[in-house]
């Protein structure tokens, strides 16, 4: 009986032990966990790291065709697409933000690889940029800036508009050490280009130089003509004002039309413009512009290169500024033949 009882206990213990051990065994040797995959960089495509331009569909919802700068910018993207062999989904928003937003939405729907966005104005992009981000499509802001949170786009490639304004101001400071009164013909209201140029200009302009009036010509030649005409109704050139800061060459050419019609001669006023288009160079040769602050529209190559890096999951810079200078009449004739826009 004693033995039997002990045998029973022994057997029971063996069963319990074997159950416990087998449970421990399972716990001690779990299935090997899958090696943690490196998190894909935002915007990385399934072809990474071997994507080529053939895999790329780039959306370029252009803001308009308001100036020679813009025409050159559009050509730069189209030429680059043809050269590299990527597909460019191009549209022209005719300077209307709602058109640009619709174009961006269409590109999200289409599932493009990347959206390069030249925003017509700074504000009002948060919603659509969030939609692109949620869809996993990277957005590169091109040319003008946006006020949206930088986490909503991957990079900005373009000019330092504030620096351009500062450079223009320096020309007036040099010309008028004893002060002057000037006018400003500004770009599209609320656009990064106009906001930055106006800000930089005011920050650098000597206190003895007064901006007596500032009106927008919306960056177009056609709209600048009546604005200049209205200025000339109110202020006498040479007496009431000695110079004009003009936010782009196209508006400068419109202003020249109005000045000519009013009998103003080249050199009567000190005029500084921005862009450095062929038209601007010709205006320097003809004596109308005394300086032209460069703004380079040829951004296609840089943007394409960055887009391919994004697709391949490679790191990119958050802010890429275009290297620019100031042009003067003395070199204008020599440089004009080599100007690309
Ligand atoms: O200066 C002007 C164009 O955003 C930098 O837009 C661009 C500006 C350029 O219409 O000519």
Cα dihedral 293, 185, 160, 101, rounded to 10, equals -130
- Give the model's confidence band at 34: pLDDT under 50 very low, under 70 low, under 90 confident, else very high: low
Percent of the chain with pLDDT over 70: 89
Whether 168 is in the pocket of ligand 1, judged by its Cβ within 6 Å, is: no
Q: 20-29, 101-110, 184-193, 302-311: lowest mean pLDDT where? A: 20-29
Question: What's the topology of domain 53-158+298-323?
Answer: Rossmann fold (3.40.50)
pLDDT at residue 35 in the model: 63
Residue with tokens 């990119």: 316
Whether residue 49 is preceded by a cis peptide bond, meaning omega within 30 degrees of 0, is yes
Same fold for the domain at 53-158+298-323 and the one at 161-295?
A: yes
Angle at 33 between CA 28 and CA 38, to 5 degrees: 150
Residue whose CA is at the smallest distance from ligand 1 atom 7: 193
| Average pLDDT score over residue span 12-38 | 51
Q: Is the pLDDT of residue 28 over 80?
A: no
| Average pLDDT score over residue span 4-12 | 49
Nearest atom in ligand 1 to the alpha carbon of residue 159 is: 5
Phi, psi of 80 (to 5 degrees): -65, -40
- Would you call 212 helix, strand, or coil by DSSP? strand
- Give the model's confidence band at 20: pLDDT under 50 very low, under 70 low, under 90 confident, else very high: very low
- Give the model's confidence band at 31: pLDDT under 50 very low, under 70 low, under 90 confident, else very high: low
Nearest one of 153, 125, 123, 124 to 141, comparing CA atoms = 153
pLDDT at residue 23 in the model: 45
Q: Is the pLDDT of residue 185 over 50?
A: yes
Nearest one of 116, 105, 214 to 165, comparing CA atoms = 214
| Average pLDDT score over residue span 131-159 | 98
CA distances from 303 to 46, 59, 156, 211, 219 (A): 20, 11, 9, 37, 24
Q: What is the mean pLDDT of the chain?
A: 92
Nearest atom in ligand 1 to the alpha carbon of residue 69 is: 11
Percent of the chain with pLDDT over 90: 88
> Structural domain boundaries of the chain?
53-158+298-323, 161-295
| Average pLDDT score over residue span 308-322 | 97
Nearest atom in ligand 1 to the alpha carbon of residue 68 is: 11
| Average pLDDT score over residue span 317-336 | 98
What is the rounded CA–CA span in Å between residue 25 and residue 19?
Answer: 10
- Decide: 130 and 138 in contact? Cβ < 8 Å: no
pLDDT at residue 27 in the model: 45
How many residues make up the chain in this entry? 341
Residue whose CA is at the smallest distance from ligand 1 atom 8: 193
Nearest atom in ligand 1 to the alpha carbon of residue 250 is: 11
- Decide: 67 and 220 in contact? Cβ < 8 Å: yes
Number of Cβ within 10 Å of residue 137's Cβ equals 22
Question: What's the topology of domain 161-295?
Answer: Rossmann fold (3.40.50)
CA of 111 to the centre of ligand 1 (A): 29
Give the burial class of 10: count Cβ atoms within 10 A of its Cβ; 0-12 exposed, 13-18 middle, 19 or more buried.
exposed
What is the rounded CA–CA span in Å between residue 202 and residue 334?
Answer: 32
- Give the model's confidence band at 40: pLDDT under 50 very low, under 70 low, under 90 confident, else very high: confident
Question: How are beta strands 326-327 and 291-294 bridged, if at all?
Answer: antiparallel
Q: Is the pLDDT of residue 109 over 80?
A: yes
Question: Residue 34 pairs with which residues in a beta bridge?
Answer: none
* pLDDT, tens digit (0-9, with 9 covering 90-100), for 249-297: 999 999 999 999 999 999 999 999 999 999 999 999 999 999 999 999 9
CA of 316 to the centre of ligand 1 (A): 25
């Amino acid at each position: 009986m004693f033995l039997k009882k002990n045998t029973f206990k022994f057997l029971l213990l063996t069963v319990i032990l074997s159950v416990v051990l087998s449970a421990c065994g399972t716990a001690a040797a779990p299935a090997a966990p899958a090696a943690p995959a490196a998190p894909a960089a935002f915007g990385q495509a399934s072809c990474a790291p071997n994507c080529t331009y053939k895999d790329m569909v780039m959306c370029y919802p252009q803001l308009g065709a308001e100036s020679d700068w813009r025409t050159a910018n559009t050509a730069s993207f189209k030429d680059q697409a043809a050269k590299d062999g990527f597909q460019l989904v191009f549209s022209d928003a005719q300077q209307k933000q709602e058109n640009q937003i619709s174009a961006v939405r269409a590109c999200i729907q289409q599932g493009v690889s990347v959206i390069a966005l030249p925003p017509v104005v700074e504000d009002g992009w948060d919603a659509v940029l969030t939609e692109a981000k949620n869809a996993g499509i990277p957005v590169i802001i091109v040319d003008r800036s946006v006020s949206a949170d930088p986490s909503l786009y991957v990079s900005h490639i373009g000019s330092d508009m504030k620096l351009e304004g500062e450079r223009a101001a320096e020309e007036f400071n040099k010309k008028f050490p004893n002060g002057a009164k000037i006018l400003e013909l500004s770009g599209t209201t609320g656009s990064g280009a106009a906001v930055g140029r106006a800000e930089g200009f005011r920050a650098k302009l000597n206190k003895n130089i007064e901006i007596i009036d500032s009106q927008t010509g919306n960056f177009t030649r056609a709209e600048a003509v009546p604005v200049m005409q209205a200025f000339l109704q109110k202020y006498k050139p040479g007496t009431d004002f000695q110079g004009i800061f003009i936010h782009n060459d196209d508006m400068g050419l419109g202003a020249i039309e109005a000045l000519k019609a009013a009998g103003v001669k080249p050199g009567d006023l000190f005029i500084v413009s921005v862009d450095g288009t062929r038209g601007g160079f010709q205006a320097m040769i003809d004596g109308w512009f005394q300086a032209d602050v460069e703004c380079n529209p040829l951004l296609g190559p840089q943007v394409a290169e960055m887009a391919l890096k994004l697709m391949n999951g490679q790191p990119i810079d958050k802010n890429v500024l275009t290297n620019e200078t100031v042009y003067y009449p003395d070199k204008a004739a020599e440089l004009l033949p080599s100007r690309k826009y």
